[in-house]
Amino acid sequence: MNKNAGVKGSVKSGNRNIYKYVATMGMLGALLVVVQVGLAFLPNIELVSLLIIVYALVVGKAVFAPIAVFVLTEGLIYGFGLWWLNYVYIWPLLALLALSMRKERSRVVWAVVSGGFGLLFGALCALPYLFIGGTPTALAYWIGGIPFDILHGIGNAVAAFFLFKPSVTAFEWIVNRSLT
C-alpha cells in the first residue's frame, strides 16, 4: 500500500488534480449509497462497514469525504430522523478505528473488527436515547435490536472475511488510477 501517495500528491498538484480528488471521493461516497440501497431488502446485511474500512486503508484520512457524501445522501433519500444522527457519528467512528489499525492486513482481524462493529451497532445507535429518555429507554432500544445486531455482526464478519483482500486490491487500483 502506498501510504496515501496518490491522495496527498494529487491535492497539492493543481486544480485538475483537485477536481479528480473531489470526483473520486464523490464516487466512493456514491458507491456506499448504492451498496446500502441495493442490499436494503436484507435485514442488517450490508457492505458499508467493509467499504469504510477499505477506504480508510486506501485513502487514509480522506475517508471522511465519502462518509460525508454517504451520510448526507442517506438523509436526502430517507429523511433526517434520529437514525440519521446515528450515522453522523457511527460511520466516522468506524473510520477512526480502521485508521488506527491501518497497518493491519489480516482478513481474519478485519472480519473480527467488522463483525464486532455490527454487534455493537445497536448499542451505538442507542446513545441518543440515553439523552432523550435515560438509561431505561436506551437499554430497551438496544435490547430490542439484539437479534438484528447478531445478524449484522455475522454478515459483516462473513463479508470482511471473503471480500477484504479483493476489495483492498481493487480500490488501491481504482484510487491510484483515478488520482494520477
pLDDT, one tens digit for every residue, the chain (180 residues): 444 444 554 445 567 789 999 999 999 999 999 999 999 999 889 999 999 999 999 999 999 999 999 999 999 999 999 999 999 999 999 999 999 999 999 999 999 999 999 999 999 999 999 999 999 999 999 999 999 999 999 999 999 999 999 999 999 999 999 988
What is the model's pLDDT at position 112?
98
What is the model's pLDDT at position 7?
53
Phi, psi (degrees; rounded to nearest 5) at 166: -65, -30
Contact 122, 109 (CB under 8 A): no
Neighbours of 117 (CB within 10 A): 24
* Number of domains present in the structure of the chain: 1
Choose among 86, 39, 91, 85: nearest CA to 66: 91
What is the model's pLDDT at position 109?
98
What is the model's pLDDT at position 13?
52
Choose among 40, 76, 35, 38: nearest CA to 52: 35
Choose among 135, 159, 155, 138: nearest CA to 147: 155
**What is the reported pTM?**
0.90
What is the span of the domain harbouring residue 93? 5-178
What is the model's pLDDT at position 10?
44
